Structure 1
Amino acid sequence: MLDVAVIEETGAAEASLDPVRARLLAALAVPGSATTLAAQTGLTRQKVNYHLRALEAHGLVELVEERRKGNCTERVLQATARSYVISPSALADVAPDPDRARDQTSARWLIALAARLIREVGEMLAGATAARKQLATFAVDSEIRFGSAADRAAFAAELSDAVTALVSRYHDAAAPGGRPHRLVIALHPSLKPPGVPPAHTPGESATP
């Protein structure tokens, strides 16, 4: 079982978004059958089987084993991943395009970049997994508390200068056998727990 899988096919996305099927996927983090799932969810065995067939058809669950019980064969299934992310490829006609309106200070452009990241890495990860190869990636996740909006702006400017210098140092357009890599850096306010009002940064307007 994978820790995270990216859903790229429209039908699979539709199947995963069905509330009943999402519950079954969550329950199948551990192997189960229609009988055990019916007991857990309160659904009939026939209805569970119906949903399981749809999930299996889209590769969201897979057969673990078959157990013979009297005159019947019980199929034990498991979800193919613990968590799923839907790629913009599943909504190709309306997928965001970060090249359409580039704006470093736009939250919507940041979302478009994130969507492209999921789509591109998801596609490459699927290919690497099929080929049983490791996909070369690197990520940094951190949190910074700025004392003021001016500090945040200064940090963004210094970060931009540092990244530009590093790119200039290591980018080699003529390197034989070289492979382009995409670098995305994001900075945004951290989410607060439900019920906690967002903190107000000194020097920043309280309205969007």
Structure 2
Amino acid sequence: MSSRDSYKPGPAVGAEVRKAGEKWTLILVRDVRHPPAKVWQALTDPTHLREWAPFDADHSLASTGPVRLSTVGTPTPQVSETHVTRADAPKLLEYQWGGNDIRWELEPIGDGTRLTLWHNIDRGFISMGAAGWHICLDVLDRFLAAEPIGRIVGGEAMKFDWPLLNAEYAKRFGIDSPGSPPVAPRT
């Protein structure tokens, strides 16, 4: 059995929601065992993004300026003409995706990196976004460790406990998430 076939995401941890009126921000924190420069390359290089991210980029996100991001794993790709607003390698990356602000912060910790994602997202989709990013970050960590399992996004994520993660995050955030199964303890 390949490592992809045996992949199961861990529990819904390392996430919080901040609310400011109608604006909701998902904050996911993940400690990865790779140095900031290596993580930065994975966040900005289109070839690396194709290994783990829920979108493809038409060129590098490592400098400010326009970029086109296209969703993957959806019946019809959604293309966002966007702009990288901050690219401070290997510490901070900011851009918009689908009209939502994305901010990646990279902080060295020991030999690794504390990676923090700030994603402004509609309240109705916040647990779904958390579940999706959770799986993407697991795939990123394995890719950086030279143990790639391939991108898991869109409908394919359903095969990898995305519905359970969505329900766990919804419960954690104290919100209802349409279509989520009841949260049962993991075995």
Larger radius of gyration: 1
- Do these two structures clear the TM 0.5 threshold for a shared fold by scoring above it? no
Q: Which has the higher helix share?
A: 1
TM-score (norm 1): 0.25
Higher relative contact order (CA 8 A, sep 6+): 2
TM-score (norm 2): 0.26
